[in-house]
Amino acid sequence: MRPRWQRTARRETARLDVTAFLSLMVILVPFLLITAVFSRMTILEMHTADGDSRGSSPPDPLQLQVVVRKHVIEVHHGGLEKMERIARTSAGSELNSLATLADELKARFPESLEATVLIEPQISYDVVVQVLDWSRSEKFR
């Protein structure tokens, strides 16, 4: 009779085939590394209206406030006693009116760099993005 260790040594050991997994990793890791470089997002600095006052910067003389409502866009600023109302249309011509107003305001207040944009809840995301793009345009930099 053979010793016990010789009997167990002749048994076939179970093998784990990791070839498919390694092939997947060889393809997946470079793909993820390459796409991570191109997926950097630009961060837009936004402040919530929590009453946090910054004492270090002087107050903005323009104090531009844009309120986007369902049928109208209201523009309030420090240079006017009354607000300007721009009717919203399906054609999107209100953004051209906003651009014209931005030219006028930037000519009067060249040092102003801030704008507050207020959006009603039922406004579509596309309109929000267009108004935010308008407020970040070259006219306000």
Confidence (pLDDT) at 114:
77
pTM: 0.53
Q: Which of 47, 72, 73, 44 is nearest to 60 (CA)?
A: 47
The residues that bridge with 84 in the sheet, in sequence order, are: 75
SS3 137: coil
Long-range contacts, stretch 32-40, CB < 8 angstroms, 24+ apart: none
Confidence (pLDDT) at 45:
61
Confidence (pLDDT) at 4:
66
**64-140 topology per CATH:** Nucleotidyltransferase; domain 5 (3.30.420)
Digit-by-digit pLDDT tens for the chain (141 residues) are 566 666 666 666 778 888 999 999 999 998 888 877 665 555 556 666 655 555 556 677 777 888 888 888 888 887 666 778 888 877 777 878 887 887 787 788 888 777 788 888 888 888 888 888 777 765 555
Query: Are 66 and 135 contacting, i.e. CB atoms less than 8 angstroms apart?
Result: yes
For the chain, the domains span 64-140
Confidence (pLDDT) at 81:
66
Confidence (pLDDT) at 7:
61
CB-based contacts of 28: which residues, under 8 Å, 6+ apart?
none
